[in-house]
Structure 1
Amino acid sequence: MLETTSNSGSSTAGVALFRIQAKLQKQIHAVPSGSQLILEAKNWRFYASDAIAPAELMKLKKEVIAYNQFAAPVADSTGIVHITKGHATGDGSPNYKYHAEWSFGDETTYSFEATTTVGLTQFKSMLSSFRPVINLLDQADVVLLPTTQIIRVQEGKRDFLLSNENKKVPIAASVRKIKGVLYIPLKDVVRAIQGNMQYVTQKNGSFMYLSQRNNMKPTKLNLKTGTVYRNEKKLATYSLVTDHGTLMVPVTALSKLLDVQADKINTENKTMNMTYTSWYTSNTMSSESADAQYQVKVFSLVGPSFEYNNTALGSSNAWEYAGSKPPKGYSPLKYEVSTVHIPLVPGSQNRVELQTNDGQMKIVQSVNSTIDPNQVPFQLNPLPYLDGLNMNVQLVSDAERAWKGGYAEAVKDVMIRGDLKGSSMNSLRLNYKYVDKNGKVSTSNLVNIAATDQQFSYTLKPEKGKGTYIVSLVSPPKSYPLADQVTIVTFMVVFK
């Protein structure tokens, strides 16, 4: 049992094996006199009681050093651990009790105590899992972390053991072997991973559509043939069984149906573990922005573990982010807060997407950009050797309206004009990425634009139809060292 105690001193009733406590105090309690310092590292000190014999102390010291070689017990903290003599184990080997206190430099001190004898490995694994109680959504707009669910089943039993919760749940039919193959009720696996399933009758047969939590890519199961499809692509075919109205599938089918991986069955106790890895997410993303770029802060694994785009501007593999340290208590070797900036189109057609790198989970947010279209800036290349180039680009639509920034709207054409002062170039090249109303992207070939007296002009027409054109002006070949072409400036034109 784990006993928790608040600052008021109230606690749960019962015999506690472990006790954790938080108090509003800056100072960590003093170590009892006579205690021996056996290790000081990474702002943590480890003390041992003087009742521990010298031979035991040497062995204990080696274990403590080994377990603290790479990281402090709790990241970004200062603390102590006091080790006292415990009862010997059944084989006569020594055992110890542990008491730890730590803080993150604020007003709160945390303590964790093993009230009975435990091994160092068990104590440290529990200690290193503690973090300060904070609301991550105060630190980031999105929390995006991987989670793993382990489901234990036993042949002949009519329940699952959800290992993370140490909880048994009843299932619709017993797990059993049929012709040497282990079968399991499909709907109970879906429920255990918090997925969804839907029965659909079509002209060509009956199907079961299965989707994982937060997953945008459902799997289709043909209930007559046992064939599994994803994105209309055939993955595999299995023999299906019905047990008193309950659909049973081979455990080997779960990897294709739901990305659930099954271990080999233990022949002695007939148990087997099934592992499901997914993503936990929570977010407070805004549905409105007054800026040309939408800023999102994401708490996730270092990397980051996601990609992002605005479908109104088409997806792109070229994206940037700025990573920063996570909140106190979370290791910067594993976690970070990524700040990303996603360009927006004025209006409500923006659809911001964050998708995990493995494609399993996607967060979608519709965003209305209230920015004045004339305030959308030109996107300039920050390369140092372009600093002296002032092109004075201007966009003039077919209604003879001159747009002041890097955005224009038109029906038939837009005149792009400017100059090349501050450079030796006498021409430019232009290309664009076209995005239709469904987010489908196509690109153009480079078009040469000649300059007269270092001034240029070009009339852009909606050759691919109505939609958004993301236009780039590019340097001619060999204008700059080590580059055949350099994108100088980018802007948007919307044909309506």
Structure 2
Amino acid sequence: MIRHHEVRQEKNTTRQILGLGVKLLLLAGLVSGLWAGPASAEDGTKPEAKVVLDPGFGYRSLWEQLASKLYKESQVKAYLPTRLPDAGLSYYGIASKLTTDGYKVQLYKSGLKPSSASSLPGAAAFRASGNTLFETSASAYSGTMPQGSVKLLTKNGWTVYADEAAAGTSGSKQKLVQFWTQAFKFATPLSNDVTGVIQISGSGAKAVYSAYWTFDQATGYTLSARTSLRDFLSVLTSYRPVINLLDEADVVLVPYEDELTFRPGTASALRKRENEQIKLSAAPIMSGSVPYFPLKDAVSFIQGQMQSVPSEHSVYFAENGYVNELRLDVRTGTVYRKNEKVDSIKVLRSGGTILVPLSFLQRQFKVAYDFDGASKSGTLQYSSWYTNYKQPEVTGSSLQVTMFGIGGFSYENSRFGAFDSYSYVSSKPPQGYNGLKYALHKVSIPLLPGNNEFVYRDATTGRIINSIPIRADLQPADIDFRYSGSPSFDGWKLDLSLVTADGTVWPAGYAETDSYADLRGTLTNAASGVTRLYLTTRPAGGRESKAVSAPLAEDGSFSIRIKPEQGPGTYIVTLYSPYTAGSNAKEPIVSFTVVVK
């Protein structure tokens, strides 16, 4: 039987990171979503299911209350966008209602911040269509797809039409064809299992962009927008299903985007997804054609840390968790990572506040920015990671976990470290998530008796995203020797046993000792010329040791002592063949675990 720790009853999960010699309970992009805690065992009820919606509308978003309502009460599977069109520095307002066969939603500009409850069905009055940013709905499928007067192109299940006003001249038609051809090259709206139509009506400020699509010929979805064409595409490609992602996977690990809208000369900005006006330490300014932004507010936007050290004429700043720590010499504009010069910028000041070029934030922190000279407004965009999980149920000596995300991560048991400690296979993501980006990954990691941790980290940077405690009620006999299964060893017969300093003969591929362990074995039916084997040890998270030789006796027996120099810890021990066909490189035969107490 496997027992596991109970999940901590916290709405926000954080992990411990070390930086600048200070322990912080912070981690960039590590946030928790919705949580429904377990009911009391005393009343005999079962724990309420944990619900995690897509963070684009289910976590600290202006959509959060409405998304939760649609999840619980919509007659059809709801879809909402995870991106918003430009509204300048205006707030967003939402009007919605449930219908007998779906729902309708409007998004509009608001001079005052609406209450979050106003987004709920029936709480706010609907506007005339001309006074909205966009409208979206779901209802019974009409049975046919709408058509327009001028077909622009058909690709990936979508057909794009325009009316005479939008494509009245060969030049305007060609621009639209080029736009959508390029758009479909990099971002197919929604997933590949959808059929849809896009229509463009009118031109200039009177243009209306709309879409109609279906997944199953049972429910039809609509989007109608009075925004820029670029904003329409951004919103359309960001639609995601309002589903409990923990019904699909044990662990959710998906991109999390935040966006800040600002205007030079104005000391306030709008956090779009949270619909929150914030006060800036100084107004952004233009230096020629270069937009400058307060460094303090930029660091706050990415949830980072910043500290001024006047005695060094420097400012230290970093991403959340003191990752990617930089030092700016405010006199020269030189930027250092540790002692290495990595950048040089022109520093501006406004009332004592340091301002830096937006291009600098893009280079060093991957903060995307856009500035429109015509409207004299700009946006900052920053992506990190959102993760949440339900406690995996484990059986046997390995943990099977289903991950939902976009890949690019490594997985491990903290007691083994990252080296060769997991395997996974990928499958199609839930309906509504593009399979070109998202996938379900089935991950398997080995377990050891006692406390384990399932750790997942960014495969590029090596940074830990999160770890999940796992309690494995295993016995030493449950931990087998792990054979590589290489065809190079077909027909070989290897009998192994582990004997520790106190004389204990361990039943399988796991041993505990206060001193050392001997690996004893007999190899028969080996390839000709094999006179010895090699053995290495590797501490969890550490480097593999140099190989030591284990000579074979005439009958194929051998014995080799395992006493790692590093002292107490968990060690992965690997037994190697001295060669592979046509190569002098050794090849792993089997691995096992020795715990030195």
What does 1:66-465 align with in structure 2 at a 5 Å threshold?
Answer: 66=181, 73-81=189-197, 86=201, 98=210, 100-104=212-216, 109-114=219-224, 126-151=235-260, 153-162=262-271, 169-176=278-285, 184-197=293-306, 210-213=317-320, 216-219=323-326, 230=337, 235=342, 247-251=353-357, 255=361, 259=365, 261=367, 273=378, 275-284=380-389, 286=391, 291-301=396-406, 304-316=407-419, 320-348=423-451, 350=453, 352-358=455-461, 362-424=465-527, 426-435=530-539, 439-465=541-567
Q: Is the 8 A contact 2:422 2:444 kept in 1?
A: no
Moved more, 416-425 or 287-296: 287-296
CA distance in 2, matches of 1:150, 1:428: 62
CA distance in 2, matches of 1:317, 1:215: 29
SS in 2 for 1:464: coil
CA distance in 1, matches of 2:378, 2:96: 31
Deviation of 1:342 after TM superposition, in Å, equals 2.8
SS in 2 for 1:137: helix
Moved more, 323-332 or 383-392: 383-392
CA distance in 1, matches of 2:157, 2:286: 55
Indicate how the Cα distance of structure 1 residues 379 and 336 shifts in structure 2: closer, same or farther if over 3 A, else same: same
CA distance in 2, matches of 1:137, 1:317: 27
CA distance in 1, matches of 2:163, 2:359: 56
Q: Is the 8 A contact 2:269 2:280 kept in 1?
A: yes
Deviation of 1:14 after TM superposition, in Å, equals 1.2
SS in 1 for 2:300: helix
SS in 2 for 1:131: strand
Give a deviation string over 1:370-429, Cα, whole Å, max 9, x none: 322221121111223424223121112122222222111112222212222332355332
SS in 1 for 2:578: coil
Moved more, 234-243 or 401-410: 234-243
One-letter identity of the residue aligned with 2:252: V
Q: Is the 8 A contact 1:28 1:101 kept in 2?
A: no
CA distance in 2, matches of 1:167, 1:360: 30
Give a deviation string over 1:15-40, Cα, whole Å, max 9, x none: 235432234x5x54346899999987
Give a deviation string over 1:193-232, Cα, whole Å, max 9, x none: 233446789xx87986544246645446688998765457
Deviation of 1:153 after TM superposition, in Å, equals 4.7
Considering only aligned residues, what root-mean-square deviation do their CA atoms show, in Å?
5.0
CA distance in 2, matches of 1:69, 1:252: 29
SS in 1 for 2:457: strand
CA distance in 2, matches of 1:288, 1:233: 47
Give a deviation string over 1:122-174, Cα, whole Å, max 9, x none: 76654443232222233233333345545455543322355667865321223
State the partner residue of 2:71: none
Q: Is the 8 A contact 2:371 2:379 kept in 1?
A: no
State the partner residue of 2:60: none
CA distance in 2, matches of 1:205, 1:119: 47
Indicate how the Cα distance of structure 1 residues 138 and 481 shifts in structure 2: closer, same or farther if over 3 A, else same: farther
One-letter identity of the residue aligned with 1:111: Y
One-letter identity of the residue aligned with 1:299: F
SS in 1 for 2:553: strand
CA distance in 2, matches of 1:173, 1:37: 49
TM-score using structure 1 length: 0.74
One-letter identity of the residue aligned with 1:212: E
SS in 2 for 1:6: strand
Indicate how the Cα distance of structure 1 residues 389 and 237 shifts in structure 2: closer, same or farther if over 3 A, else same: same
CA distance in 2, matches of 1:325, 1:442: 36
Structure 1: segments with no counterpart, 5+ residues: none
Q: Is the 8 A contact 2:413 2:421 kept in 1?
A: no
One-letter identity of the residue aligned with 2:444: H
Indicate how the Cα distance of structure 1 residues 376 and 250 shifts in structure 2: closer, same or farther if over 3 A, else same: same
Indicate how the Cα distance of structure 1 residues 363 and 455 shifts in structure 2: closer, same or farther if over 3 A, else same: same
State the partner residue of 1:6: 98
Indicate how the Cα distance of structure 1 residues 368 and 97 shifts in structure 2: closer, same or farther if over 3 A, else same: closer
Asked if 1:485 is matched to 2:586, the reply is yes
State the partner residue of 2:39: none
SS in 2 for 1:412: coil
SS in 1 for 2:586: coil
Asked if 1:495 is matched to 2:596, the reply is yes
State the partner residue of 1:15: 128
One-letter identity of the residue aligned with 2:212: A
CA distance in 1, matches of 2:371, 2:194: 45
SS in 1 for 2:387: strand
CA distance in 1, matches of 2:594, 2:136: 60
CA distance in 2, matches of 1:45, 1:252: 38
What does 1:456-475 align with in structure 2 at a 5 Å threshold?
Answer: 456-475=558-577
Deviation of 1:355 after TM superposition, in Å, equals 2.2
CA distance in 1, matches of 2:266, 2:343: 28
CA distance in 2, matches of 1:195, 1:459: 49
SS in 1 for 2:526: coil
Percent identity over the alignment is: 27
CA distance in 2, matches of 1:253, 1:111: 39
CA distance in 2, matches of 1:175, 1:47: 41
CA distance in 2, matches of 1:11, 1:403: 65
One-letter identity of the residue aligned with 1:29: G
Deviation of 1:492 after TM superposition, in Å, equals 1.0
One-letter identity of the residue aligned with 1:491: F
Larger Rg: 1
TM-score using structure 2 length: 0.63
Deviation of 1:488 after TM superposition, in Å, equals 0.8
